[in-house]
A and B are shown apart, each in its own frame.
Chain A
C-alpha cells in the first residue's frame, strides 16, 4: 500500500518539497549558478523592497488582473445565465465557449500579437474602417496591459461561464417557483435568487482567477518578446508581470538568489490577495445571513 502512494511522495519530495526549501535557502544567497554561492543574509530582500522594477511589476500585474478579471466574471455570469435558460443547442454553445480555453496560450498570444499590430493589425484596420484613430496597442505600456488582458479574458471567460452554469444548475427549480408566485420577474429572480445562491461558485472562480491571474506569465512574455527585446515586458516594461520579472532575473540574468527572493515575494502577495478575495466574497455571506 505504501508502494502505491510512494511514487507521488518520492516525486513530491524530490521535485516539490526539497526545491521549495532549497529556494528559501537560495533567497539568502548570491549565486549565478556557477562557482560557489555566497551567503548574503537579508540583502536580497532589502534589495527587493527597494527595487522600483519589482514595484512596477506588481503594479502591471494588478492592472492586468483588474482589467481582465472583473469584465470576465461579469460576462461569464451573463453567458451562464443565458445558457441556463436556453434549451436548444446548449451542448454546441458550451463547446464553442470552451474552445478558447484549450487553445494554447502561446499560439493565441502569437495570433493576438498580429491582430493588435500597429499598422496592419485587424483591430486597427477595423477601427480605421469605422473612422476611429489607430490605437497603439503594443507600443505603449497601457496598450500592452489592455492587450494582455483581452487575451486572458478571451481564454478564460468561456471556462468560467461553464463553471457558473454548473453552479446555476445546482440551484433547485422550487426556489424559482416560489419567487414567481411572489411575483418576481426574470431579472428580479436573477438578482435575488441566482446571484446569492451562486456565491460558493463565485468564491471558487474568484480565488482561482486570483491565483492564476497574479501569476500570469506566458501571455505577456510571448506578446512582448521581439527579436530586439526579450523578457523586458515590452514598451515601458508595461507587460512586465511579477512572474515575468522573476523569470527575467533568475533565467535571463542567472541571478538565482535574487530570483528566489522575488519568487517568495510573489508567493506572499498571491497568498495575501487570495485570502482577501476569499474574505471579500465569503464575508458578504455573513451579512446576508444576519
Chain B
C-alpha cells in the first residue's frame, strides 16, 4: 500500500516541490512527506475498512487464526439478521426523524434570532446576547436530572419530542450565524427592502436567508451530525427498548448479542453509513467552515 502510493505521488510531488521550494525553502523531502501523510490517512480510514471486513464475514471467519483481512460475501446476510433481531428499521427511522426535525428547527429559530441580534437594535439586546454566550458554558450534566424530571412530568419520556424540543434552538448556532450575517448581509440591501415595504419577516426571508445559505449549510450539517450521534440524552430519556434511536439501539445490540460479532458490526456499519454520505456531500465546504469558526 505505501510502496504503491509512494511511486504514484512522487512524480507530481517533485513538480510541486520546485514551486514550493522557491517560497518556503527546503522542506522535508516530498517523498517522506507524502508517505507519512498517506500512512496517516490509511490509519484514519482503516477502522472503517475493518468494520466493513467484519460486517461482511461470518463470526467464525473473524475468530479464525489468522483472521480474514478482506471483505466476504455475508454482508447482506448479516444486515438481514440485524433487522430480524432488533427493530433496526424503527431506530433508523426515529433517528432520521429526530435529526431532520432538530436540524430544520435549529436553522429556523437560530437564523431568526441571529438576524435580529445582528441587524436590529432593541432594548436589552446586549444583555440578551450575553445570556446566549453564557449558555455556551453550561454543561449538559448540570441540567440533565431536572430535565428528565420535566420530561416525566410532561409525559414525554420515551417519546421523540423529548429529543427534539430541547434541541430546537441553540446558543452556538445563534452566535455563529450572527457573525456570518454581520459579514455577509449589507445594510444597504436591508434598507432597500424596507423602502419597498418589506416587514421584518419578509426581510429575513428574502434578504437574509439567500445571502447566508452557505452558513446555513454548515450549521445544518453540524447540527445533523451532532443530533445523529447523540447518545447520553437519548439513553436516559428513551426507556422503551422497542422505541430507540440508532445510537442507543447500537449500544444495546452490542451488549445483547456480544457473541454474534459479524451481525453487531453490520449494525455499526449501517449506523455510520448514512452520516458518511451526508458528510461527503458537503465535506470540502464543511471542513473549511469548521476551521474558519475556530480561528476567528
Q: Do A and B bind each other?
A: yes
Q: Which A positions have Cβ atoms within 8 angstroms of B? A: 1-2, 4-5, 7-9, 11-12, 14-16, 18-20, 22-23, 26, 33, 79, 82-83, 85-89, 91-100, 102-108, 110-115, 120, 122, 125, 129, 154, 158-159, 162-163, 165-167, 170, 173, 176-177, 180, 184-186, 189, 200-201, 204-205, 211, 215, 217-218, 221-222, 225-227, 230, 243, 246-247, 250-251, 256, 259-260, 263-264, 266-267, 270
Chain A residues whose CB sits within 8 angstroms of the CB of B63 once the complex forms: 120
Q: A96-B44, A99-B279 are in contact. List 11 more A-B contacts (CB 8 A).
A: A7-B169, A82-B37, A99-B48, A103-B272, A103-B275, A104-B246, A104-B271, A163-B290, A205-B294, A251-B148, A263-B139
How would residues 266 to 280 of chain B score, 1 for a CB under 8 Å from any chain A CB and 0 otherwise? 001101100110011
Contact (A4, B116) CB under 8 Å given A86-B37, A170-B295:
yes
Chain A residues whose CB sits within 8 angstroms of the CB of B152 once the complex forms: 33
Q: Which B positions have Cβ atoms within 8 angstroms of A? A: 9, 12-13, 16, 19-20, 23-28, 33-34, 36-37, 40-41, 44-45, 47-48, 50-51, 54, 62-63, 65-67, 109-110, 112-113, 115-117, 120, 122, 128, 131-132, 135, 138-150, 152, 165-166, 168-171, 174, 200, 204, 225, 228-229, 231-232, 236, 246-247, 250-251, 254-256, 258, 261, 264-265, 268-269, 271-272, 275-276, 279-280, 283-284, 287, 290-292, 294-295
How many A-B pairs with Cβ below 8 Å? 277
Closest chain-B Cβ to A148's Cβ sits at a distance in Å of 15
7 A-B pairs (CB sep. < 8 Å): A18-B150, A102-B229, A104-B247, A162-B290, A167-B295, A186-B28, A250-B145
Chain A residues whose CB sits within 8 angstroms of the CB of B48 once the complex forms: 99, 103
Q: How far does the alpha carbon of A215 sit from the alpha carbon of B254 in the complex, in Å?
A: 23
Contact B122 A2 (CB under 8 A): yes
Give the residue name and chain of the A residue nearest to B286 (CB): A98
Chain B residues whose CB sits within 8 angstroms of the CB of A112 once the complex forms: 47
Q: How far does the alpha carbon of A235 sit from the alpha carbon of B41 in the complex, in Å?
A: 33
Contact B254 A113 (CB under 8 A): yes
Give the residue name and chain of the A residue nearest to B111 (CB): A4
Closest chain-A Cβ to B34's Cβ sits at a distance in Å of 7
Contact B150 A19 (CB under 8 A): yes
The residue from B131, B132, B268, B284 contacting A95, defined by CB atoms under 8 A apart? B284
Contact A125 B66 (CB under 8 A): yes
Contact A186 B295 (CB under 8 A): no
Give the residue name and chain of the B residue nearest to A179 (CB): B25
Contact A176 B115 (CB under 8 A): no
Chain A residues whose CB sits within 8 angstroms of the CB of B247 once the complex forms: 104, 106
Q: How far does the alpha carbon of A260 sit from the alpha carbon of B139 in the complex, in Å?
A: 12
Contact A103 B295 (CB under 8 A): no
Chain B residues whose CB sits within 8 angstroms of the CB of A218 once the complex forms: 231-232
Closest chain-A Cβ to B205's Cβ sits at a distance in Å of 12
Chain A residues whose CB sits within 8 angstroms of the CB of B150 once the complex forms: 14-15, 18-19
Contact (A26, B146) CB under 8 Å given A98-B283, A120-B63:
yes
Chain B residues whose CB sits within 8 angstroms of the CB of A263 once the complex forms: 139, 141-142, 144-145
Contact B139 A270 (CB under 8 A): yes
Chain A residues whose CB sits within 8 angstroms of the CB of B37 once the complex forms: 79, 82-83, 86, 93
Contact A9 B131 (CB under 8 A): yes
Q: How far does the alpha carbon of A186 sit from the alpha carbon of B149 in the complex, in Å?
A: 58
Contact A97 B20 (CB under 8 A): no
Contact B67 A122 (CB under 8 A): yes
Give the residue name and chain of the A residue nearest to B283 (CB): A95
Chain B residues whose CB sits within 8 angstroms of the CB of A167 once the complex forms: 294-295
Contact B34 A225 (CB under 8 A): no
Q: Which 4 A-B pairs give the minimum distances between C-beta atoms? A: A166-B291, A19-B143, A19-B146, A22-B146
Give the residue name and chain of the A residue nearest to B116 (CB): A4
Q: How far does the alpha carbon of A5 sit from the alpha carbon of B44 in the complex, in Å?
A: 41
